[in-house]
Structure 1
Amino acid sequence: MMNINENKRFALLIDADNAQAKAIDAILTEAARYGDVTSRRCYGDWTNTRLGSWKTVLNKHAIQPMQQFAYTSGKNATDSALIIDAMDLLYTSKFDGFFLVSSDSDFTKLATRIREAGLEVIGIGRRLTPEAFRAACNKFIFTETIMDENPADDAKKPAKPIATNATVSKKADNAVVSTSQTDKNIQSTKIANPSKDAILKKLLKEAIESASEEDGWANLGGVGSYIPRVDSSFDPRNYGFDKLGKLIRSLDYIEVQQKNIESGSNIYIRYKDTNG
Structure 2
Amino acid sequence: MIIDAMDLLYSNKFDAFALVSSDSDFTKLASRLKESQIYVFGVGENKTPLAFRNACDDFIHTEVLRAPEMDEVPEATTSKPQTKPTDGKRSKRDLCCDTRLINILRNSVRDNADEDGWANMGACGALIKRQYPDFDARTYGYPTFTKLYEATELFDIDKRKSGSARLLDVYVRDKRN
**So what's the TM-score if we normalise by structure 1?**
0.53
Q: How does 1:114-153 map to 2 (within 5 A)?
A: 114-149=33-68, 153=86
Alignment match of 1:246 (pick from 121, 144, 147): 147
**Would the alpha carbon gap of residues 100 and 269 (structure 1) be closer, same or farther in structure 2, given more than 3 Å must change?**
same
* Alpha-carbon RMSD: 2.1
- Pairs within 5 Å for 1:1-276: 82-149=1-68, 153-156=86-89, 191-192=90-91, 193-260=94-161, 265-273=168-176
Structure 1 residue 150: deviation in Å? 5.5
Instruction: Find the counterpart in structure 1 of residue 82 from structure 2.
Output: none
User: Aligned residues, how many?
Assistant: 159
Q: Distance in 2 between matches of 1:229 and 1:110?
A: 19
Once the two structures are superposed, what CA deviation does each residue of 1:206-251 show, in whole Å capped at 9, x if it has no partner? Answer: 1111111011111111111111011000111111122211222111
Q: Determine helix, strand or coil for the equivalent of 1:118.
A: coil
Paired amino acid for 2:121: L
Cα distance between partner residues in 1 of 2:61 and 2:161: 36
**Displacement of 1:262:** 5.9
Per-residue deviation, 1:194 = 2.4
Letter in 2 for 1:243: T
Give SS of 2:17's match.
strand
CA distance in 1, matches of 2:169, 2:127: 17
- Quote the offset at 1:104 in angstroms: 1.4
Q: Give deviations 1:174-198, integer Å, cap 9, x for gaps.
A: xxxxxxxxxxxxxxxxx45323321
SS in 1 for 2:152: coil
| TM-score (structure 2 length as normaliser) | 0.81
CA distance in 1, matches of 2:68, 2:159: 32
Q: Which runs of 5+ in 2 are unaligned?
A: 71-84
Q: Deviations over 1:100-150 (max 9, x none)?
A: 111111211110110111111011111111111100000111111112435
Unaligned runs of 5+ in 1: 1-81, 157-190
Deviates more, 1:218-227 or 1:261-270: 261-270
* C-alpha distance in structure 1 between counterparts of 2:64 and 2:169, whole Å: 29
C-alpha distance in structure 1 between counterparts of 2:11 and 2:161, whole Å: 46
Give the share of equivalent positions with the same residue, in percent: 42
SS of corresponding position for 1:245: helix
Indicate the SS of the match to 1:154: coil
- State the Cα distance separating 1:263 from its structure 2 match: 6.9
Q: Is the 8 A contact 1:195 1:250 kept in 2?
A: no
